[in-house]
Amino acid sequence: MLEQLAVDPTAVAQAVEPLQVSQNEAYEYIQDDALLSSSLWANIALAGVSILLFLYMGRNLQSDRAKLIWVATMLVPLVSIASYSSLVSGLTVSFTEMPAGHALADTANIAESAGIPGEGAFSPWGRYLTWTLSTPMILVALGLLADTDRTTLFTAVTMDVGMCVTGLAAAMVTSNLALRWIFYGISCAFFVAVVYILLVEWPADAAEAGTDEIFGTLKVLTVVLWLAYPVVWAVGAEGLALIESAGLTSWAYSALDILAKYVFAFLLLRWVAANDRLVAGGGTTAAAGEAAPADD
């Protein structure tokens, strides 16, 4: 046994090398594609600026509920900067060999054409993973703004996590094309629950809490932008590959992220900073509600 290992060092090297090589080469691959790398670096820069800006915007918040909204909102660019740094470094991307029947299955030996051993289409799976952390924060902030109850907040967050995790599965299944789309369908079903809460449940709560005006704006922004994500997935490189370019697909997500995260968060925080008292007044039912009077 020992002898076998000693005389066959290439077998050991082959077993270890691909992981290391693929990360280095994924990094090179991204850097060599100006469209792809700019879509990632632009978000790292914007997340950095947003973190500093949001820290400043939250400096005078007094009420416990406003502070909780602020923390949830701050977490959005914080998760984002980590997410995009992981993507750009090659840590959370891979080259996925698409199942038979996928538009990129035989044609696009994309990795090989870039000098990377093995086959496969570029897959930034880290995006779907980190949405599991960032999108619940957006929902927590919105739920607190609407002064919703715990059950609805819990439902929105868990359905959203379900959407992200099954979306990750849809992107990573390589065995069978139908199963990729089955996971896509499951993810959409979770998404319907989130959209229902945003469009039906929370507007009524927000009206009662007196935050309906800003909630209405953020609700439209959120629902319209979030609906575009499954569309991009479906037409992008991982779905039907009507857009084959990894750079273009990545820019579509990055542009959506810029609006759904930084612009959304800016509008929310600007309003919360100017309406701290109103936000504080509503805190009776949501997670922070009971703590509010004592902390203020």
Cα 68 to Cα 145: distance, rounded to the nearest angstrom: 10
Side chain identity, residue 111 = A
User: Closest separation between CB of residue 272 and ligand RET, Å?
Assistant: 19
Dig out the tokens for 234 from the structure.
Answer: 């479906």
Which of 99, 203, 210, 230 lies at the binding interface for ligand RET (CB under 6 A)? 230
> Residue 147, interface with ligand RET (CB under 6 A)?
no
Cα 283 to Cα 291: distance, rounded to the nearest angstrom: 9
> Residue 84, interface with ligand RET (CB under 6 A)?
no
Write out 204-222 in H/E/C secondary structure.
Answer: HHHHHHCCHHHHHHHHHHH
> Residue 73, interface with ligand RET (CB under 6 A)?
no
244 phi and psi angles, rounded to 5 deg: -85, -25
245: phi > 0 → left, psi -120 to 50 → alpha, else beta; which?
Answer: beta
Judged by beta carbon, residue 76 or residue 280, the one nearer ligand RET is 76
Cα 144 to Cα 153: distance, rounded to the nearest angstrom: 8
User: Closest separation between CB of residue 185 and ligand RET, Å?
Assistant: 8
Footprint of ligand RET on 243-262 (CB under 6 A):
257, 260-261
User: Closest separation between CB of residue 95 and ligand RET, Å?
Assistant: 20
Judged by beta carbon, residue 201 or residue 257, the one nearer ligand RET is 257
Footprint of ligand RET on 162-201 (CB under 6 A):
163, 167, 170, 184, 187-188, 191
> Residue 233, interface with ligand RET (CB under 6 A)?
yes
Which of 63, 73, 134, 155 lies at the binding interface for ligand RET (CB under 6 A)? 134
User: Closest separation between CB of residue 147 and ligand RET, Å?
Assistant: 22
Among residues 176, 161, 169, the alpha carbon closest in space to that of 233 is found at 169
User: Closest separation between CB of residue 138 and ligand RET, Å?
Assistant: 6
Q: How far is CA 161 from CA 45, 61, 133, 223, in A?
A: 26, 29, 8, 16
Dig out the tokens for 252 from the structure.
Answer: 């579509």
Judged by beta carbon, residue 215 or residue 226, the one nearer ligand RET is 226
Dig out the tokens for 144 from the structure.
Answer: 């607190």
Which of 54, 95, 122, 131 lies at the binding interface for ligand RET (CB under 6 A)? 131
Helical H segments across 62-176, by residue range: 64-89, 110-113, 126-145, 150-172
What is the distance of C-alpha 293 from the center of its chain?
34
User: Closest separation between CB of residue 84 and ligand RET, Å?
Assistant: 10
Side chain identity, residue 165 = V
Total residues contacting ligand RET (rule CB under 6 A)? 18
User: Closest separation between CB of residue 275 and ligand RET, Å?
Assistant: 24
Which of 229, 251, 262, 271 lies at the binding interface for ligand RET (CB under 6 A)? 229
Judged by beta carbon, residue 125 or residue 215, the one nearer ligand RET is 125
The answer to whether the CB of 264 falls within 8 A of the CB of 127 is no
**Where does this chain bind ligand RET (CB under 6 A)?**
128, 131, 134-135, 163, 167, 170, 184, 187-188, 191, 226, 229-230, 233, 257, 260-261
